Chain A
């Protein structure tokens, strides 16, 4: 069975290795000081999509991202790893969106894509940490949602079986298709970029990126349709101007305070032997808790 898979991805500032200048005086993120990366859990979601594609030959993976025109980089990254193509939803009118306006805009884009079997996204983005956008999209599309997914165990007969990673253990649920699945960081890491795809698609650009290329590269893109990344605006996805960008965002930031992190998620490590302790130490080093 071939599937139409949509992967939601976001280009985010790399907040995992923040320096002193990571925040501006007004409490907002200093995006210029942080490299833009593929949101880590969206990569976990992409891997689940690629596994579905491996198991169901002929499936297509379309990556949808909303952001500045430069977030086409996320689409290229996904294509290098095996996605078929992507759409950058970009428009000045979409700027300043909170999660409500973002999920509305993305849901409109999903409707425009039309025929889809499953929508996968990361649990949350590392810049906002809200974990709201995926679930809100499901609500707006009127389809089921499965959150905290760690593994898509099976997909057949119009149903998907998903293992969820919860604080107290693992839960396996079955949901009818189409549905939205948001994937946890504990899921399998995304496969690496593929050298051949990297060479084939490195000149893939969105129309606004293409405009700034030298002429011969523009001609190359024109001659190779697979190098064209779609770019959609708010009008194209028939978005209501009142529900997008600033006007569509009821969230207002009043003040920003520095807080000390407390435990956000529990991890149970089994075993009091050396291996168990070693795992714990590795985990703490990886999290930058120690070391």
Chain B
């Protein structure tokens, strides 16, 4: 039986990144939990061994049960009756197995029953689950919401809810409404405080992934008469209390096993999480950043499956007397798919490590004051995490879609039939560049790191790293691309017109992303030789892309702008 962790040595390469020692030692507070919990690690090596063994369990479950169930889950889909959403049979089996394997609440502290994993190995599990069944990754990955509960809930709420998540109860984040999609400031769901101080929710939410979950985080308007984000608070709704029904579930193109619900709240009792008015401004932003990293991982899982399915088919399929992979046109597609996969995965884990570091510092700050040095580091890592998260989600999901497209292309006519996994993958992958903020919104989140120079500073750091002589040529090329990027950004900013900057934003973010990912692959190849091919292929891709964007910006006639903007 396949094991989706052990059959993919690239994962181990990312798990054993040198920065992990710092992450683990901080996360485990010098391994003091070992005295209190019999499953806590004794030292760094022991912790890493725990992550690997657990990922082997994830890999076994995914390579067996979950991958085997994916097709039937896609066919059966989730359903809705009597005000409840019902999972497909395979989904029920998958969830049960994940509970038995103890894979829920992986990143939660041990005192709440979690595994206390850093984000990096947790995100790796998401990457693996997504390869097995993209839609199931949503249900499993919503354990992320516990992170928000842990960060912003009070101690009593943490003690009541987080252990339930670790035991396997599922979660949802109820944000979107019919008139509040990308624009969450317009949320209308009404939270009213009764005389005894408790809250009830009334209204409708739409497009809620796993909307019939056991525990919901709900964004609602608690301040009557307000119209913007400052009137919104976050609430916890416990399904055990009743008051929310599923009116219908969406009939979707893909991820059919993941029920997307329309929810009706009728005097649903709920409790406030954190402070009033901070719902959107602070908590949902944190929730979304976590979720975006999750979608970045989901996208990489899709890319992985696309690459593997295409490679297997191209080796197997014979035309004109030879395997089609022997034709350069097909071979190139496969090489580029692998390069995009590797690039987006490197960015994903680079991002995950920064998220780990700043979140761990945040958590330590609840126990003791950070030293000035630690505060400085924490702020730096937080900024990098904020800069790389939208990039990893935006570009990673676009690459996943491109790979899913090319996967069908490699299959030819057979890929258009329902007979191969690539057809399901194509439909499942499509959502990754839409939900948790479209690619266009990821650009909006990322552009300030272009204009303030965060990406450029990061690129300069990568450029300082020494590499093997044979990789130096790639680095030299990247230095030239960096100059092109820098000039393009300066040229756009000199115009000093926000509309013009917005118009060019995607191009500039992509240029930064191309260069960052190309550097990351060079550094990967420096540490593990097998990445060299992808580093070469991706550098060529990055050069073509950066040059194309630079040329567009350099030669763009601003008089043409209206041709794009006025309809």
Counting CB contacts under 8 A, is A192 at the interface?
A: yes
Query: What CA separation (Å) do A191 and B98 show in the bound complex?
Result: 10
Query: What CA separation (Å) do A96 and B100 show in the bound complex?
Result: 38
Contacting residues, chain A, for B39 (C-beta < 8 A): 196-197, 199-200
Query: What CA separation (Å) do A189 and B97 show in the bound complex?
Result: 11
Counting CB contacts under 8 A, is B54 at the interface?
A: yes
- Among A198, A200, A202, A226, the most chain B Cβ lie within 10 Å of the Cβ of A198
Counting CB contacts under 8 A, is B41 at the interface?
A: yes
Query: What CA separation (Å) do A193 and B101 show in the bound complex?
Result: 6
Interface residues of A in 183-207 (CB under 8 A from B): 189, 191-200, 202
Counting CB contacts under 8 A, is B50 at the interface?
A: yes
Interface string of B38-73 (1 = CB under 8 A from A): 111110000001100110010011000100000000
Counting CB contacts under 8 A, is A224 at the interface?
A: yes
Interface residues of B in 93-125 (CB under 8 A from A): 97, 100-103, 106, 115
Would you call A202 and B102 a contact (CB within 8 A)? no
- Among A199, A202, A224, the most chain B Cβ lie within 10 Å of the Cβ of A199
- Among B39, B41, B54, the most chain A Cβ lie within 10 Å of the Cβ of B39
Would you call A194 and B41 a contact (CB within 8 A)? no
What is the CB-to-nearest-CB distance from A114 to chain B, in angstroms, rounded to a whole number? 28
Would you call B115 and A192 a contact (CB within 8 A)? no
Query: What CA separation (Å) do A226 and B101 show in the bound complex?
Result: 20
Asked if A195 meets B103 with Cβ closer than 8 Å, knowing A200-B38, A200-B39, A224-B38, the reply is: yes
Partner of B100, one of A194, A199, A200, A220: A194
What is the CB-to-nearest-CB distance from B27 to chain A, in angstroms, rounded to a whole number? 15
Would you call A194 and B38 a contact (CB within 8 A)? no
Interface string of A197-224 (1 = CB under 8 A from B): 1111010000000000000000010001
Query: What CA separation (Å) do A224 and B39 show in the bound complex?
Result: 12
Would you call A199 and B101 a contact (CB within 8 A)? no
What is the CB-to-nearest-CB distance from B63 to chain A, in angstroms, rounded to a whole number? 12
Would you call B54 and A192 a contact (CB within 8 A)? no
Would you call B57 and A199 a contact (CB within 8 A)? no
What is the CB-to-nearest-CB distance from A224 to chain B, in angstroms, rounded to a whole number? 7
Would you call B57 and A193 a contact (CB within 8 A)? yes
What is the CB-to-nearest-CB distance from A228 to chain B, in angstroms, rounded to a whole number? 14
Asked if A195 meets B100 with Cβ closer than 8 Å, knowing A200-B38, A200-B39, A202-B49, the reply is: no
Query: What CA separation (Å) do A226 and B54 show in the bound complex?
Result: 21
Contacting residues, chain A, for B60 (C-beta < 8 A): 192-193
Contacting residues, chain A, for B65 (C-beta < 8 A): 189
Would you call B97 and A199 a contact (CB within 8 A)? no
Asked if A195 meets B101 with Cβ closer than 8 Å, knowing A200-B38, A200-B39, the reply is: yes
Q: Which residue of B lies closest to A189 (CB)?
A: B65
Asked if A192 meets B97 with Cβ closer than 8 Å, knowing A198-B54, A199-B50, the reply is: yes
Q: Which residue of B lies closest to A192 (CB)?
A: B101
- Among A191, A192, A200, A220, the most chain B Cβ lie within 10 Å of the Cβ of A192
What is the CB-to-nearest-CB distance from A17 to chain B, in angstroms, rounded to a whole number? 10
- Among A196, A197, A224, A226, the most chain B Cβ lie within 10 Å of the Cβ of A196
Interface residues of A in 218-246 (CB under 8 A from B): 220, 224, 226
Query: What CA separation (Å) do A192 and B57 show in the bound complex?
Result: 7
What is the CB-to-nearest-CB distance from A191 to chain B, in angstroms, rounded to a whole number? 4
Interface string of B190-233 (1 = CB under 8 A from A): 00000000000000000000000000000000000000000000
**A→B interface (CB under 8 Å):** 189, 191-200, 202, 220, 224, 226
Q: Besides the contacts A192-B97, A198-B50, A199-B40, what 13 more A-B pairs have beta carbons closer than 8 Å?
A: A192-B57, A192-B60, A192-B61, A192-B100, A192-B101, A193-B101, A195-B101, A195-B102, A195-B103, A199-B54, A200-B38, A202-B49, A224-B38
Give the top 7 A-B pairs by smallest Cβ distance, nearest first: A199-B39, A195-B102, A192-B101, A200-B39, A191-B100, A194-B102, A195-B54
